[in-house]
Structure 1
Amino acid sequence: MSVAVVTGGARGIGAGVAKRLRADGHRVAVLDVDTAGAEGDAVVHCDVADEESVATAFDTVVAELGEPAIVVNNAGFARDQPLTDMSLSDWDAVVDVCLRGAFLTTRLVAPFMKAAGFGRIVNISSTSALGDPERVQYVSAKSGLNGFTKAAALELGPYGVTVNAVAPGFTVTNMTVRSAARRGRTLEEHVRITAEASPVRRAGHPEDIAHAVSFFTSEGAGYVTGQVLYVAGAPLG
């Protein structure tokens, strides 16, 4: 039984991933800035964009559960707005959580994993990394996360540590409500229209993303690293 950490794991995709990893037999620590309703073997407040907060959170995880062998960098959010209306503070806020956060956690756990000769790091990217209007900060952060994944995989691979990314497509979460509003649709309309345009004729759900994460974190995935898997109901990438 390994110790797994899921950032942003209190709700949405993160909660789905945490639930799946617990079902896979791992002891799961959920890290989030808002821990209300979070479920895990340990639930810890953490702002992944803050170096001290990350260090304190992982100290707590190690003390309560042990050194993590699995880390899922899921924390992230978007602030949809045109490029010309985007403030520097909005740019920094999104990039800091989505990209800086993954760097801070990966840098911190890499020594544990290298010493153990085993580790699984999964970064939750997005199909937005391929381009998405009025999301330039989110697109930049997620495409940067894809590059970070590949570079870290090259560096950590010799130590038995794999680094991969899962890039969800349209997935029904709390963020979907905001995406629907941006397009002037109700949530139901947005889900229906998007699902009808998908080759598989349905929307994604957190469980779909969790299945992919489960594979990447398994012992049997040791020959797969530096990959970005688009879980999007369509051929992308």
Structure 2
Amino acid sequence: MALDGKTAVVTGAARGIGYAYCQRLAADGAHVVAVDIDDPVDAVSELTGGGDKLGLVCDISDPSQVDAVTGTVLDRYGRCDILVNNAGIFPSTDLEHMSIELWREVQAVNVESILLFARAFAPGMRAAGWGRIVNTGSGITLTQNRDLAYMTSKGTVHVLTRALANELGDSGITINAIAPGLVATQGFLGRARPNGPTTDEVLARVTALQTIKRQSVAADLSNALGFLVSDDADFITGQILHVDGGMTRTGA
């Protein structure tokens, strides 16, 4: 129960990787606030261990809704100790067919929400002299993938992670990013691929590129999160941790 008494906020928490993060944080003793555009109450009811559990509905691309959620957290718990910016969208986009509206939506959800939540919670972390911010990046930034808006957003997440670490690193707050490979979450399995490879074909291709020849599971990522938010990682900040079975082996 290394996180006993800490308050953790996780976005994109109703299912998949975000829910696995909530499970790990609760098991380690934290109060867990699960935030999602879909009602996370049922998911929260299944969490065990830890302290208090709270599910909040929020469209994180809407600053007013983020303000409402962060206000609720601060009123109830006093501060957020651990912020996990996991929510994201990944529509297939290319230069010819992408609208400016879709481009802006991807950046608002995947990038701007990180700034909004960090701006709300960093003052409390600074006052406490302890805080953890973990963002979800992506190994896609090191591939030849052509999802233009998504790839750009995740590259920006990596740079924003470092920029926040530069600004907050002297105040007891660490800021890192976990860059997953391909995980067979509900979101991935339900993604439309007109005239493209099947999900099984995509998973097989990715696994073949890894040095560890098995499919990634959510626990691989939640284990990494458990380390990064612990005191064992208090000298690690501004890093992009690729958790992908060795698929990406250079750069960040």
Give the TM bin, normalised by the shorter chain. Answer: over 0.9
Deviations 1:12-64 (A, max 9, x none): 11111111111111111001110244326000011212211111112222333
Aligned pair partner of 1:166 in 168, 172, 178:
178
Q: Shift of residue 183 of structure 1?
A: 6.6
Distance in structure 1 (CA, Å) of the matches to 2:242 and 2:60: 24
What are the equivalent positions in structure 2 for 1:78-89 lying under 5 Å apart? 78-89=90-101
Tell me the equivalent position of 1:28.
32
1:38 aligns with 2:43: yes
Tell me the equivalent position of 1:96.
108
Question: Are residues 154 and 182 of structure 1, via their aligned partners in 2, closer, same or farther at CA, if it must alter by over 3 Å?
Answer: farther
Task: Please give the TM-score of this superposition, normalised by the length of structure 1.
Answer: 0.93
In structure 2, the gaps of 5 or more residues are 48-52
What are the equivalent positions in structure 2 for 1:212-223 lying under 5 Å apart? 212-223=224-235
Question: Are residues 31 and 123 of structure 1, via their aligned partners in 2, closer, same or farther at CA, if it must alter by over 3 Å?
Answer: same
Aligned pair partner of 1:70 in 79, 82, 87:
82
Letter of the 1:22 counterpart? A
Q: Shift of residue 213 of structure 1?
A: 1.0
Q: Is contact 1:70–1:121 with CA below 8 Å preserved after alignment?
A: yes
Tell me the equivalent position of 2:17.
13
What are the equivalent positions in structure 2 for 1:1-237 lying under 5 Å apart? 1=4, 2-36=6-40, 37-39=42-44, 41-178=53-190, 181=193, 184-234=196-246, 235-237=249-251
Letter of the 1:18 counterpart? C
- Three-state SS of the structure 2 residue aligned to 1:181 is coil
Deviations 1:93-150 (A, max 9, x none): 1111000010100111010101111000000111112244331111111111111111
Distance in structure 2 (CA, Å) of the matches to 1:181 and 1:43: 32
Letter of the 2:142 counterpart? L
Distance in structure 2 (CA, Å) of the matches to 1:65 and 1:164: 23
Distance in structure 2 (CA, Å) of the matches to 1:24 and 1:236: 32
Distance in structure 2 (CA, Å) of the matches to 1:116 and 1:185: 49
Letter of the 1:209 counterpart? L
Task: Please give the TM-score of this superposition, normalised by the length of structure 2.
Answer: 0.88
- Three-state SS of the structure 2 residue aligned to 1:38 is helix
- Number of residue pairs matched by the alignment: 237
Distance in structure 2 (CA, Å) of the matches to 1:225 and 1:34: 31
Q: CA RMSD in A?
A: 1.7
Question: Are residues 56 and 171 of structure 1, via their aligned partners in 2, closer, same or farther at CA, if it must alter by over 3 Å?
Answer: same
Q: Is contact 1:49–1:104 with CA below 8 Å preserved after alignment?
A: no
Q: Which has the larger displacement, 102-111 or 168-177?
A: 168-177
Distance in structure 2 (CA, Å) of the matches to 1:190 and 1:140: 21
Distance in structure 2 (CA, Å) of the matches to 1:232 and 1:124: 13
Q: Shift of residue 196 of structure 1?
A: 3.1
Q: Shift of residue 74 of structure 1?
A: 0.5
